[in-house]
Amino acid sequence: MTDASQAGGFFSLAAPVSAKEPAMNAPEPVAVTAAAAAVARPMPHVMNTYGRLPIAISYGRGVWLWDTEGRRYLDGLGGIAVNTLGHAHPKLVPALQDQIGKIIHTSNYYEVPLQEQLAAKLCEISGLQAAFFCNSGLEANEAALKIARKYGHDRGIDRPEIIVYEKAFHGRSIATLSATGNPKVQAGFGPLVEGFVRVPLNDLAALETVARDNPNVVAVFLETIQGEGGINPSRWEYLQGLRALCDRQQWLLMLDEVQCGIGRTGKWFAHQWAGIVPDVMPLAKGLGSGVPIGAVVVGEKAVNVLGPGNHGTTFGGNPLAMRAGVETLRIMEEDDLIANAAKVGAALRSGLERELAEVPGVKEIRGAGLMLGIELDRPCGVLLGRAAQAGLMISVTADSVIRLVPALILSEAEAAQMVAILAPLVKAFLAEP
């Protein structure tokens, strides 16, 4: 094991682990020194659209990451809820290598048998009927919006409208940005797309008012658990009431499961906790374990809305992405990762609640399974860098919510390590004047 020396309150490696040869017996999590963290390496040819930490990841194993300097991090971010199987999963890697050796891309001019294989599995686990494949959550949500509009036109509604939510986030294209409920990310991109009616989450009375006053509504579109908006769950009784209202009004119920789906909450899809089935369900993120993929899965009301020429994609549904989806779902079942997400998520939440109970400034710990948010009473973006310095990857959403969305292979011991790193950071931050 490489010796470590203490510097500036953090541990830094005297001899970094080689970034070329993954070492499973690498030292305990160590961190960027405070001085190093203050210096971002320039990337003058990359557009300046991200506020990046000065860390370049070299490789990963399981729920651990190593940077190019040999430092190790516990990955509580999972590529933003993407790396379902963690990093370099021993069952996934050979399957993707096999597919790359056969065919990566053909186009949708031809049949792609893996599309039917993945679609059939998604229909089996969701209770829906068919799927369209694309490349991302944004594209899946765009497709859902197009389905809703055409559904309305097919019913003779010239200017169909869609109910969306405060604090929602559905993407950064002009249409999905318009459906998003965050003025800060919308600023500078007007005029936004019309046709959206916004309501607060978990307020059935607000929906009843819209139903009474607006005959142009054709669909309700919401994240089952809002991700970027601060890990805000829809209450199960609210979803049940919403399903009944949509049935009564002949609206489409469209549930964005891009971030909260694919086993993250302890069921295949978060809405299944409420015992309902949507009409349209966008997916992405965890479906491909890191390979770009998106899907829209639809039920009886929506299955025939789009026909040839109504929608399409060049890259979507290519054999590599489809193989990644097929293998991800297969491995999740073989390794019982949905049950693991529920069990380890409960342990992680319990540990956080135990360590942060009665801490002034901690407003709420919420979420389900391995999708958890810790809301503080003040903006806490600084914790992103401090956590990395301490050897933990996290994110901060809605300015004041710490988000944890690790791989579904996380163990209870690793969850305990996560708590041991994060809780002192939160306490120290909240104790600052």
**Sequence-ordered strand ranges (E) for 203-270:** 217-223, 225-226, 232-233, 252-256
Q: How many angstroms separate the CA atoms of 51 and 99, rounded? A: 35
Q: For residue 186, what are the contacts with CB-CB under 8 A and spacing of at least 6?
A: 177, 178, 180, 192
401 sits in which H/E element? strand 401-404
Q: In 3-state terms, the chain is what percent helix, strand and coil (to 5)?
A: 35, 20, 45
Sign of the torsion angle spanned by Cα atoms 85, 91, 93, 96: negative
DSSP assignment of 298-328 equals: E-TTTTTT--TTT---SSTT-HHHHHHHHHH
375 sits in which H/E element? strand 371-376
Q: How many angstroms separate the CA atoms of 124 and 42, rounded? A: 48
Q: Which long-range contacts (CB under 8 A, 24 or more apart) does 98-105 make?
A: 99/319, 99/320, 99/323, 99/324, 100/320, 102/319, 103/319, 104/318, 104/319, 104/320, 105/315, 105/318, 105/319, 105/320
Distances (CA, A) of 47 to 50, 144, 190, 252: 8, 29, 21, 38
Q: Are strands 401-404 and 371-376 parallel, antiparallel or unpaired?
A: antiparallel
DSSP assignment of 108-163 equals: TTS--HHHHHHHHHHHHHHS--EEEEESSHHHHHHHHHHHHHHHHHHTT-SS-EEE
List residues with catalytic annotation. 169, 256, 285
User: Residue 317's closest CA among 100, 109, 94?
Assistant: 109
Angle between helices 382-389 and 412-430 (to 10 degrees): 130
Q: For residue 111, what are the contacts with CB-CB under 8 A and spacing of at least 6?
A: none
Distances (CA, A) of 233 to 127, 172, 202, 381: 22, 22, 9, 22
